[in-house]
Amino acid sequence: MKIKCSTLFDITKTDISNRRHGLDEPDQILFSKRRNQQRNFETVLQVISMRSQPEDISTPVKENMKILGNTNWGDNFNAIKSPIPIWVFTFTVQHSSVFNDGTTELGNLLSDCENVPMIVSLEEVANLNNILSIAGPSKNILFEIDNN
């Protein structure tokens, strides 16, 4: 099963996994930002990995999207008129029922994400709380089964 994840958090994959500023990164502020972007991506992958081993993970792509009137996101963001960045990636899991909570196909995945801490003030534009929110006015992450 292929799943698409979209989020308002900056989950840019930078591949910076070391905790110390390296010699190849002369700018400490840029290094910290890029490390935090990678941390956010790793956090989402770790939540997914609690129930399944994600495979065929695509690199998150930053897209500009108009939120106004889009019901996929929380009402806190529907007032934003100009396009804002969202990050999108896909992954597959071998067992299609691994996230099924008996009500929704991805219900367990969604509940696992609720209130997970994230790092803010990177490249995102939306005024986000520093936690993942799966529903309500602050909804900032979306999972969908990708049939493509």
Q: Give the whole-angstrom CA distance, residue 111 versus residue 101.
A: 9
Q: Which candidate, 66, 48, 68, 67, places its Cα nearest to that of 3?
A: 48
CB 91 within 8 A of CB 55: yes
For residue 10, the enclosing domain spans 2-145
Look up residue 75 and give its DSSP letter. Answer: G
- The neighbour count for residue 30, using CB atoms within 10 Å, is 11
Q: pTM for the complete prediction?
A: 0.91
- For residue 78, what pLDDT is reported? 75
CB 143 within 8 A of CB 112: no
Q: What is the dihedral of CA 20, 34, 121, 61, to 10 degrees?
A: -150
Tokens of 18: 């070391």
Angstrom distances, CA of residue 36 to CA of 10, 33, 46, 62, 129: 9, 5, 15, 16, 16
Q: Answer positive or negative: Cα dihedral of 123, 41, 93, 52.
A: negative
Name the pLDDT band for 25 (thresholds 50, 70, 90): low
Taking 90 as the threshold, does the pLDDT of residue 26 lie above it?
no
Q: Give the whole-angstrom CA distance, residue 148 versus residue 146.
A: 6
Quote the mean pLDDT of the chain. Answer: 90
What's the domain count of the chain? Answer: 1
Q: What is the pLDDT of residues 75-131, one digit of tens each?
A: 888 777 788 899 999 999 998 799 999 999 999 999 999 999 999 999 998 789 999
- For residue 108, what pLDDT is reported? 96
Q: What is the pLDDT of residues 49-60, one digit of tens each?
A: 999 999 999 999
Taking 60 as the threshold, does the pLDDT of residue 24 lie above it?
no
